[in-house]
Amino acid sequence: MTTTRSVLAPVDFSDASRGALRYASVAANYLQAELVVLTVTDPLLTEAAELSGQLDGLPDAISKELRRFSGKTFDGVVAPHTVRYELASGKPAVEILRIAKSTPTSLVVMSTHGLTGVRKLFFGSTTERVLRETTVPVLLTPAHDHGPARPEDVKKAVKRILVPVDLSPATRDQVMSAGRLATALEVPVLLAHVVEPVHFAAMDMPHLPNLEVERRSRAEKALAELAASLGPTLRVEALVAYGDPAEEIAKVARDRDAGLIVIGLHATSILGPRMGSVTYRVLCLTAMLVLALPPKH
């Protein structure tokens, strides 16, 4: 079968990347796309193999290990319809971004690192750089998630899709993408906007309460319009919270049992897509599936 698009799954042979690979397989089958399983070799390993006279056999050895790892991952679960294996050498983030740009990649699926501390989910430099420079959506899977055995397992895990919106021009595309996912998974969408407190040097300002009421009122109106744009058949909830955006989004995700967060990546005119501070902190405070969308996707 010839495909015009692909789902890219970088793996490092860890249990965390095994779970991400299973999610990537489900996504590829749903999109009728080719699954590209990528592993990136450290240049130091190549140098060591060259010094020991084993350089010629290194690619075959890595390829066999990649196929063995993938075969074990797909044992007893729904395997991808079409799969291709890719080997690269260099910095993992650079190679992931290069392959994602050079092929018709619809989605990158990769795992985060393990938990560190009580509250934070620590991201390695690879994941962080991919998010800062990606031009295609990235699905991040929690390190502890073993991945679905069947497509139905995704529906069981995702009971609600949380969409944190900042009401910027990119918001509508983000909401529409979440709506399509919610339709496919047959789950409701929760649109959430956090009104951040305004701090003034002089606190004796009688008009301040009215300002906060006005900001909340505008946010509620904007959310209602976004909810209406998703159509009458989709279950859509809207929520306006008050406080620190990242803290409140993480709290809402936990309290409302959201299995998936669809969040936007910011952009600048010079550097292109970039992960904003709120997005990064949300990723640090939550341990669930996160779909990060670059601007204008």
Q: For residue 252, give the CATH number of its domain.
A: 3.40.50.620
The DSSP symbol for 186 reads: T
Report how far residue 297's alpha carbon sits from residue 295's, in angstroms, rounded to the nearest whole number: 6
3, 105 Cβ separation under 8 angstroms: no
23 assigned to some structural domain: yes
204 assigned to some structural domain: yes
Q: Would you report the helix, strand and coil content of the chain in percent, each value rounded to 5?
A: 45, 25, 35
Residues 12 and 136 placed together within one structural domain of the fold: yes
Residues 141 and 237 placed together within one structural domain of the fold: no
pTM of the model: 0.86
Residues 227 and 281 placed together within one structural domain of the fold: yes
The CA-atom distances, in angstroms, between 199 and each of 51, 202, 214, 247 are: 61, 9, 16, 18
Q: Which of 102, 122, 147 is the last residue of a domain?
A: 147
Residues 36 and 127 placed together within one structural domain of the fold: yes
Report how far residue 251's alpha carbon sits from residue 268's, in angstroms, rounded to the nearest whole number: 29
Residues 12 and 121 placed together within one structural domain of the fold: yes
294 assigned to some structural domain: no
Q: Which of 100, 128, 147 is the last residue of a domain?
A: 147
Residues 61 and 95 placed together within one structural domain of the fold: yes
Q: Which of 126, 147, 168 is the last residue of a domain?
A: 147
Main-chain phi, psi angles of 191, to 5 degrees? -90, 125
Residues 79 and 191 placed together within one structural domain of the fold: no
70, 21 Cβ separation under 8 angstroms: yes
Cα dihedral sign for 86, 144, 290, 28?
Answer: positive
In terms of residue numbers, what domain contains 220?
A: 158-286
Residues 209 and 268 placed together within one structural domain of the fold: yes
260 assigned to some structural domain: yes
Q: 138, 102, 141: which is closest to 273 by C-alpha?
A: 138
In angstroms and rounded to an integer, the radius of gyration of the C-alpha atoms of the chain is: 21
Residues 7 and 136 placed together within one structural domain of the fold: yes
Residues 168 and 106 placed together within one structural domain of the fold: no
152 assigned to some structural domain: no
Residues 2 and 133 placed together within one structural domain of the fold: yes
117 assigned to some structural domain: yes
Domain count, the chain: 2
Residues 127 and 188 placed together within one structural domain of the fold: no
Q: What is the pLDDT along the chain (297 residues), one digit of tens a residue?
A: 444 799 999 998 888 899 999 999 999 999 999 999 999 986 655 544 454 555 555 678 888 999 999 999 998 888 889 999 999 988 889 999 999 999 899 999 999 864 343 333 445 678 888 988 999 999 999 888 999 988 889 888 899 999 999 988 889 999 999 999 999 999 999 999 999 887 665 555 555 567 778 888 999 999 999 999 999 999 999 999 999 999 999 999 999 999 999 999 875 544 455 566 788 888 888 889 999 998 866
Q: Enter the tokens of residue 194.
A: 């956090």
* Residue 45, beta-bridge partner list: none
153 assigned to some structural domain: no
87 assigned to some structural domain: yes
